Structure 1
Amino acid sequence: MRKLIYGMNLTLDGYIAAPGDDIGWSGPSDELFEWWLDQVRASSLSLYGRKLWETMSSYWPTGDQQPNATPAEIEFARVWRDMPKVVFSSTIDQVDWNTRLVTGDAVAEITRLRAEDGGPMDIGGATLAGAAMRAGLIDEYTLATYPVLLGSGTPFFTALDNWVNLNLVETRTFPGGVVLTRYETKR
Structure 2
Amino acid sequence: MRKLSYLIATSIDGFIGDVDGEAEFFTKYIDEKYLAHSLEELPDTLPTFARRHFGIDDRPNRRYDTVLMGRATYEVGLPQGFTNPYAHLKQYVVSRSMEEAPAPEVEVVAGDVVAKVRELKRQDGLDIWLCGGADLAGQLLDEMDELVIKTYPCFLGSGMPLTRAGFEIRDFALESVKSFDGGVVITTYSRKR
Q: Is residue 65–residue 88 contact of structure 2 (8 Å, CA) maintained in 1?
A: no
Separation in 2 of the partners of 1:6 and 1:149?
Answer: 21
Amino acid at match of 1:25: F
Amino acid at match of 2:117: I
Report the TM-score, using the length of structure 1 for normalisation.
0.80
Q: Is residue 8–residue 16 contact of structure 1 (8 Å, CA) maintained in 2?
A: yes
1:34-53 alignment, distance < 5 Å: 34-37=36-39, 38-39=41-42, 40=44, 41=61, 42-53=63-74
> Equivalent of 1:174, from 165, 168, 180?
180
State the secondary structure of the residue aligned to 1:127.
helix
Task: Quote the offset at 1:29 in angstroms.
Answer: 3.2
| Residue aligning to 2:75 | 54
1:107-138 Cα distance to aligned partner (Å, 9 max, x none): 121122122232100012221111000xx100
Amino acid at match of 1:94: E
Report the TM-score, using the length of structure 2 for normalisation.
0.78
Amino acid at match of 2:95: S
Separation in 1 of the partners of 2:110 and 2:168?
Answer: 27
Task: Quote the offset at 1:82 in angstroms.
Answer: 2.5
1:17 aligned onto 2:17: yes
1:13-162 alignment, distance < 5 Å: 13-27=13-27, 28-37=30-39, 38-39=41-42, 40=44, 41=61, 42-59=63-80, 61=82, 80-95=86-101, 96=103, 98-124=105-131, 125-133=133-141, 136-162=142-168
Q: Is residue 173–residue 190 contact of structure 2 (8 Å, CA) maintained in 1?
A: yes
Structure ranking higher in helix proportion: 1
RMSD (CA atoms): 2.3
Task: Quote the offset at 1:56 in angstroms.
Answer: 4.1
| Residue aligning to 1:72 | none
State the secondary structure of the residue aligned to 2:158.
coil
State the secondary structure of the residue aligned to 1:8.
strand
The alignment covers a number of residue pairs equal to 170
Task: Quote the offset at 1:4 in angstroms.
Answer: 0.4
Q: 1:137 to 1:60 in 2, by over 3 A?
A: farther
Identity among equivalent positions (%) equals 29
1:126-158 Cα distance to aligned partner (Å, 9 max, x none): 21111000xx10000011101111111110133
Moved more, 159-168 or 112-121: 159-168
1:7-48 Cα distance to aligned partner (Å, 9 max, x none): 111000000011232313210334434444543232010001
Q: 1:10 to 1:60 in 2, by over 3 A?
A: farther
Amino acid at match of 2:69: Y
State the secondary structure of the residue aligned to 1:44.
strand
Separation in 2 of the partners of 1:30 and 1:121?
Answer: 27
Q: 1:110 to 1:83 in 2, by over 3 A?
A: same
Unmatched runs of 5 consecutive residues or more in structure 2: 45-60
Amino acid at match of 2:31: S
Q: Is residue 174–residue 189 contact of structure 2 (8 Å, CA) maintained in 1?
A: yes
